[in-house]
Structure 1
Amino acid sequence: MDDFRELLDDCVHCGFCLPTCPTYELWGEEMDSPRGRIHLMLQHQEGAPLSDSMVEHFDRCLGCMACVTACPSGVQYDRLIEVTRAQVEEEKPRRRTDRLLREAIFAVFPYPKRLRALRWPLRAYQASKINMSPLLSRISPTLAAMERLAPPRADHVRLPALVPAKGERRAVVGMLTGCVQREFFPGVNAATARVLAMEGCDVVIPKGQGCCGALSLHSGRSAEAKAFAKQTIDTFADVETVVVNAAGCGSAMKDYADVLADEPEWAERAKAFTAKTRDLAEYLAELGPRATRHPLEITVAYHDACHLAHAQGIRAQPRALLNGIPGLEIREIADPEICCGSAGVYNLLQPEAAAELGDRKARNVSAAGADLLVAANPGCSLQIATALRRRGEEIAVAHTAEVLDASIRGIGKDLLSPRR
């Protein structure tokens, strides 16, 4: 673990990370800041056993990477927290209820077919208008959070294995359909495929694809993350570019070189895969527009998903794509660097802290006074929409791909219907 110790030593404890850390902003506790957690990591590295208190502070971290953006010393906190969480899972037995809860989450969310099986009981529950929140809150905060965050009802969309380019072909790309995105936001994937095709791309959508491993990687389940990474690399072996429309997935896939660095038979393949992975906005900005944009007379509040802005450094490209639509106006959200509280499964495992952050983000979105909230991650969309409903407010929510699709096809009016 010499490399890990070197990464720890990069931190000079300057404190530039403090005002960008969501949990430090919430509680003002040093051990709930990046430099405080690095201090705990150093203690463990020097032989201190993982205590319940240490694990609690590590669990409270959202992994939002705002500190990575803010750090003047280039501390790779993303690597530090991923390694530390893997150590926690290996070394520190969790309480039975916590362990069962985590196993239940990871037995369902990374598997699209299992998520799909939830759609019908979810549809029936939402249609019944029964409010189970008070009862679930007494049983388990996590179950209550699941009920509040239950995604909108959506009909299954079956995409073909190939969506051919419209007009002269400019490129061939593979498209990740994801897990939550595929089953609960299928319209985002359909819009992504249409936009890529209208911009001159043959879009290859492998039928055998599964989870990319993002949730597992960000939760310390390293063996599981490696297995998903290998499967994804194999699935997209025959395409030169892989386009991703979910920020958390793209961030994880761009980390495959690090995830599989210690496996010689996979290391080079993982490095090559990382190099060919592109976020949708990143790729479209590189490709340049060809399809005609029709006017959309709407105001948009653009939300910077943490794993897009902080982990991948992609901020300008989505805004440039939106600004390329005639009539559309972007209104910035205050404190964009502070996470909304979604953070993978954080809003399920740490529901109280997540709700506080969601409420803060909702206030800022509301203050922007926009017609439409645009976000590039399904978890963020659910989290912010849920927090807005707690305020008694509704806002239409869309992905960047859906806004582009609506402009190119001239169907902007469909964007302004709230999804629930």
Structure 2
Amino acid sequence: MSDQDDLPKLLGDCVHCGFCLPTCPTYVLWGEEMDSPRGRIHLMQQHADGAPLSAPMVEHFDQCLGCMACVTACPSGVQYDRLIEMTRADVEREHPRPLQERVIREAIFQLFPYRRRLRALRGPLRVYQRTGLDRLVRRTGLLERLSPSLAAIERLAPPLGKAPRLPGRVAARGDRRATVGMLTGCVQGEFFPGVNAATARVLALEGCDVVIPKGQGCCGALSLHSGREEEARAFARRTVETFEAVDVVVVNAAGCGSAMKDYRDLLADDPDWSGRAAALSAKTRDLAEFLVELGPRAERGPLPVTLAYHDACHLSHAQGVRGQPRALLAGIPELTVREIADPDICCGSAGTYNLLQPEAASALGERKAVNVDATGAELLVAANPGCSMQIATALRRRGADIAVAHTAQVLDASLRGLGREALLGRAS
């Protein structure tokens, strides 16, 4: 059965109770009914009943982050995640966007899903950052005047150092407990290569042979969550082919893991790929999820650090992975973990949202940074590159001296006995 056949039931599941309202970031920001999940579902029903996709209607859909906090909060089991993805696909097919918006969107989708293109950008971007030209450009406000989206791309770029390159295979330390494939990702691979290196080391120290296919590409997450269905399916097929031979695929980026677990639905109507896609979805695990299933073996060294843990939306809401990262962190001696207020409100990253809706994203990033700062932590831990860039930018803007790291980097520092200063120095 196709998504369109499911649509009447999916829309009818919503009883408009309002439990979603306090969890919806845009409703929290603006208090507008049409910028809440039930308001958007009302607009979706209008479109299903024959109303054309008007510019104001599309704007309300575009302003949704797709964070899925409403899915977690809903007592009626409304599959808003499926509804917004279906609606965004309709928008891409039916709604003609203004020229400048089309250009920005196309530039984003011709850059970020492609590792080689991102790699080519690294050199010029490092020079730009190291010469101080970035600070000069920001003071002039030139990019803001040219395009708020372009300014957001520049502002969010993390400080770039030398990028370590991983081998095709990392051998297990001691007796092998498992063989796993590892997704390196696009943005994660080029902007946060240290996270991938730490992930491979942690898996090896816990007794895993780590297979890192050289030919892997984008998993399709950005395309899938933006309504670019055919593009997402092409990326998904390539990813299925790449990892078919391994028993488990470990993913350290929340958005990527969420997309790969959705392959079974994305390719359900393709008879040549549906079974293969479902098989890959079934063996995809977030890093924290997998390590908890595997159980600890390597000795944990003490880390006298106070950190705040951030729940990435596509990890907590989309994948239901909440307790596992906290359990891993709790197993590290002398580490103190503090919770962030309003953890279910998105930081504003949401894939390409902070590039395409920079004003709303900035407001949400500021809100999250205030709550992180209030914990008194010296390190923020997140499990998604978009969240790391978004919150780090907001913390810098506040002048908060809080480093940002991935769960893998904290575990790596503990397992290798690197200590407190090494962890805080290596964190971005």
Give the Å deviation of 1:2: 2.4
2:211 paired with 1:207: no
Deviation per residue, 1:86-115 (Å, 9 max, x gap): 000000011111001100000000001100
Give the Å deviation of 1:389: 1.1
Aligned residue in 2 for 1:60: 63
Aligned residue in 1 for 2:137: 132
Which of 371, 375, 379 is matched with 2:382 structurally? 375
Aligned residue in 2 for 1:251: 258
Whole-Å separation in 2 of the counterparts to 1:314 and 1:154: 31
Aligned length: 420
2:245 paired with 1:238: yes
Aligned residue in 2 for 1:26: 29
Deviation per residue, 1:269-300 (Å, 9 max, x gap): 11111100000000000000000000000111
Q: In 1, are the aligned partners of 2:258 and 2:314 still within 8 Å (CA)?
A: yes
Give the Å deviation of 1:417: 2.5
Whole-Å separation in 2 of the counterparts to 1:241 and 1:418: 29
Aligned residue in 1 for 2:422: 414
Give the Å deviation of 1:418: 7.1
SS of 2:338's equivalent in the other structure is strand
Aligned residue runs from structure 1 range 254-403, under 5 A: 254-403=261-410
Unaligned runs of 5+ in 2: none
* Overall identity of the aligned pairs, in %: 74
SS of 2:272's equivalent in the other structure is helix
Whole-Å separation in 2 of the counterparts to 1:7 and 1:154: 47
Give the letter aligned to residue 98 of structure 1: E
Give the Å deviation of 1:4: 1.3
Aligned residue in 1 for 2:95: 92
Give the letter aligned to residue 252 of structure 1: A
Whole-Å separation in 1 of the counterparts to 2:154 and 2:244: 38
SS of 1:132's equivalent in the other structure is helix
Whole-Å separation in 2 of the counterparts to 1:80 and 1:394: 40
Give the letter aligned to residue 13 of structure 2: D
2:158 paired with 1:151: yes
Which of 48, 72, 77 is matched with 1:45 structurally? 48
Q: In 1, are the aligned partners of 2:224 and 2:232 still within 8 Å (CA)?
A: yes
Give the letter aligned to residue 264 of structure 2: A
Whole-Å separation in 1 of the counterparts to 2:227 and 2:423: 37
CA RMSD of aligned residues (A): 0.8
Give the letter aligned to residue 102 of structure 1: R
2:43 paired with 1:36: no
Under a length normalisation based on structure 1, what TM-score does the superposition of the two structures give? Answer: 0.99
Q: In 1, are the aligned partners of 2:67 and 2:350 still within 8 Å (CA)?
A: yes
Give the letter aligned to residue 128 of structure 2: Y
Whole-Å separation in 1 of the counterparts to 2:150 and 2:305: 36
Structure 1 outlier segments of 4+, above 6 Å = none
Give the letter aligned to residue 366 of structure 2: D
Give the letter aligned to residue 345 of structure 1: T
Aligned residue in 1 for 2:171: 164
Q: In 1, are the aligned partners of 2:67 and 2:313 still within 8 Å (CA)?
A: yes
SS of 1:417's equivalent in the other structure is helix
Give the letter aligned to residue 78 of structure 2: V
Whole-Å separation in 2 of the counterparts to 1:190 and 1:418: 12
Q: In 2, are the aligned partners of 1:175 and 1:243 still within 8 Å (CA)?
A: yes
SS of 2:201's equivalent in the other structure is helix
Q: In 2, are the aligned partners of 1:385 and 1:394 still within 8 Å (CA)?
A: no
Deviation per residue, 1:208-255 (Å, 9 max, x gap): 000000000000000000000000000001001000000000000000
Whole-Å separation in 2 of the counterparts to 1:283 and 1:154: 29
User: Taking structure 1 as reference, are residues 5 and 248 closer, same or farther at Cα in structure 2, changes over 3 Å only?
Assistant: same
Which of 3, 15, 19 is matched with 1:16 structurally? 19
Give the letter aligned to residue 201 of structure 1: C
Q: In 2, are the aligned partners of 1:303 and 1:373 still within 8 Å (CA)?
A: yes
Aligned residue in 1 for 2:228: 221
Whole-Å separation in 1 of the counterparts to 2:323 and 2:194: 24
Under a length normalisation based on structure 2, what TM-score does the superposition of the two structures give? Answer: 0.97
Q: In 1, are the aligned partners of 2:23 and 2:344 still within 8 Å (CA)?
A: yes
Q: In 1, are the aligned partners of 2:378 and 2:401 still within 8 Å (CA)?
A: no
Give the Å deviation of 1:419: 5.2
Unaligned runs of 5+ in 1: none
Give the Å deviation of 1:140: 1.0
